[in-house]
Amino acid sequence: MRKHSKNKKKYLSAIYILWMLVFTIIPLGLVVYFSLTTIDGKFTFENLKNIGEYTPVFLSSIKLSAISTALCLLLGYPFAYIISKVKASKQVIFMIFIMLPMWINFLLRTYAWMTLLENNGIINRLLSFIGIGPVHMINTQGAVVLGMVYNFLPYMIIPIFNVMTKIDKSYIEAAQDLGANNRRVMTRIIFPLSMPGVVSGITMVFVPAVSTFIISTMLGGGSNMMIGDLIELQFLGGSYDPNLGSALSLVLMVLILISMGIMNEFDSGEEDVLAV
Amino acid sequence: MKKFFSKVYVAFIFLFLYAPIAVLLVFSFNNSKSRAVWHGFTLKWYGELFRDEAIINAFITTLLVATLAAIIATLLGTLAAIGFKNMRKGPRKFYMQVNNIPMLNPEIVTGVSLMLLFVYCGRVLGGMELSFTTLLLAHVTFNVPYVILNVMPKLQQMDGHLYEAALDLGCKPVQAFFKVVLHEIMPGIVSGFIMAFTLSFDDFVISYFTSGAKSQTLSIIIYAMTRKRISPKINALSSIMFITVFVLLLIVNLRQNKEKNASKSKRKGMLRS
């Protein structure tokens, strides 16, 4: 009788399974359907072929987000390492202050940089005091990269930090006992063991970076278009073409699946690095 | 020497993260539209903010959609998590993977795919337009996975014998569920709800594609404002939002620390006895 009730419990998820079908599976199916049809609903490969024209946009999106991801790793890794060394009670405070900006509206954070980087913004005012400038910063690729690093740096720090605090101290001690110097401990013990955190950090920064359209619109002006901008244009912008937009989304999804697959190759299959 | 470098480095990162926000806050009190030169202290932007009907309406919409979506997602997600837990491994793995799709997919793809669904259904079935309803449906869809993410570990940690013990002691299954299971997984449900609410409240991309012209959220209004002539009203708005989030986070963390300490001393007490 008890077995029976346990079996019945699985039906509690029935509503949500239906929900996933309607609001997750079917919409993705529609993306595929739209990307393979014309406006009149006829089958075509035109949309996917037309994407070739936008190769420069894809390449520059990948380039900018790869640079941003690398910068996040360079800035975030030492930070996570330093914080993982301090007392546990202090760690909590540091991590709250790393997460706090994440809770501020994404658009407002980006808007803050808009006002800083303007030609007559604060940074240029300060520079003119010491006789430099004005330096043109807003609406450049550099501004887009800066915006990405600023917005996504916490996504890099948190998973790396979580993995580092879980590293068994006795490994480090054992290495030291066996005569390894600090550099060797870092390269042979800490870095390899923190790899799962690095991998999920890279994914968590790269995915939103490569698909953003806000940062590139706000900090890059109109001239530094990214895949996200292109998709947005097809659905809500001037050039309404949901079929092309779907094809672009499909390619973006495949691109991300491939990059995740590559990243998973480096991962030894550790779970829950995200749990804070 | 090494310690000194570490401190400077940490300070540098925090400066990088907080300087822009500080500038935003300071200039919300600036008595001029300038965002670079200080013209004296004023509160007028806050006054204008509260008289701006579009902003007030957007705030109400945002609050309403975040609350409703979080409640629905928490109910749906908790039930689903219990259901998944009681499945055989094969189907459970499959459904969990489907459940992960909205978390892994880029937001813009989720937004666009839902927009296609709503617009397409509207054309085929009629009557369905982008509106508050579609906004809510979209929010529930991206919230549930995070609720499950929070509830599932609690279910797995729970001692299955507790439920059976309750049955043995004469509880009906429903009673046992409410008195034992729900009690055990409550922390997961609460954190799932909070996470769903904040994600909803903060969302821009998915709302942008699924809300009609009549049901704009705060994020959408902010986006529209940054595209037009920028007014320091946004600074005032961001200051208020920043302070609110800061206080909320502080409360949640203090509560968590208290809980941790309480459970620690409880454990200590148990060890002693």
Is A120 within the bounds of a domain?
yes
ipTM, 2 decimals?
0.86
Token pair for residue A45?
Answer: 């490969």
In DSSP notation, B182-202 reads HHHHHHHHHHHHHHHHHHHHH
Chain A positions in Cβ-Cβ contact with residue B79 (cut-off 8 Å): 12-13, 15-16
pLDDT at A2 exceeding the cut of 50: no
Q: What is the pLDDT of residues A10-42, one digit of tens each?
A: 888 999 999 999 999 999 999 999 999 998 888
Chain A positions in Cβ-Cβ contact with residue B116 (cut-off 8 Å): 27, 30-31, 34, 242, 246
Chain B positions in Cβ-Cβ contact with residue A155 (cut-off 8 Å): none
d(CA B32, CA B44): 10
In what helix (H) or strand (E) does residue A128 lie, and over which residues does it extend? helix A122-129
| Shortest alpha-carbon distance between residue A174 and chain B (Å) | 23
Task: Identify the DSSP state of A153.
Answer: H
Token pair for residue A211?
Answer: 């698909």
Q: What is the pLDDT of residues A124-168, one digit of tens each?
A: 888 888 887 678 888 999 999 999 999 999 999 999 999 999 888
The residue ranking higher by pLDDT, A226 or A238, is: A226
Comparing CA positions, the residue from A169, A157, A151 lying closest to residue A91 is A157
In what helix (H) or strand (E) does residue A84 lie, and over which residues does it extend? helix A55-85
Chain A positions in Cβ-Cβ contact with residue B218 (cut-off 8 Å): 105
Cβ-Cβ pairs closer than 8 A, A with B, add up to 221
Q: What is the pLDDT of residue B258?
A: 73
| Shortest alpha-carbon distance between residue A121 and chain B (Å) | 5
Comparing CA positions, the residue from B118, B106, B201 lying closest to residue A214 is B106
Number of domains in chain A: 1
Range(s) of the domain holding residue A243? 54-266
Q: Do A252 and B108 make contact, defined as CB atoms within 8 angstroms?
A: yes
* Mean pLDDT, range A232-249, rounded to an integer: 90
Q: What is the pLDDT of residues B1-32, one digit of tens each?
A: 678 999 999 999 999 999 888 888 888 898 88
**Beta partners for B30?**
B41
* Mean pLDDT, range B62-91, rounded to an integer: 94
pLDDT at B232 exceeding the cut of 90: no
Is A111 within the bounds of a domain?
yes
The residue ranking higher by pLDDT, B258 or B161, is: B161
Rg over alpha carbons for chain B, rounded to the nearest Å, is 24
For residue A169, the one-letter residue type is K
pTM above the 0.90 mark?
A: no
Is residue A218 within 8 Å of A118, Cβ to Cβ? Answer: no
Chain B positions in Cβ-Cβ contact with residue A263 (cut-off 8 Å): none
pLDDT at B269 exceeding the cut of 80: no
The domain that contains A135 carries what CATH number?
1.10.3720.10
| Shortest alpha-carbon distance between residue B6 and chain A (Å) | 7
* Mean pLDDT, range B156-174, rounded to an integer: 88
Comparing CA positions, the residue from A204, A195, A180, A216 lying closest to residue A274 is A204
Is A2 within the bounds of a domain?
no
Q: What is the pLDDT of residue B160?
A: 80
d(CA A150, CA A110): 8
- Identify the band that residue A239 occupies on the pLDDT scale cut at 50, 70 and 90: confident
HSE (CB half, 13 Å, CA atoms) of A221?
11
Is A48 within the bounds of a domain?
no
pLDDT at A273 exceeding the cut of 50: no
Q: What is the pLDDT of residues A164-221, one digit of tens each?
A: 998 888 888 898 899 888 888 888 889 899 999 999 999 999 999 999 998 998 998 8
Is A224 within the bounds of a domain?
yes
Q: Do A111 and B24 make contact, defined as CB atoms within 8 angstroms?
A: yes
* Mean pLDDT, range B141-158, rounded to an integer: 94
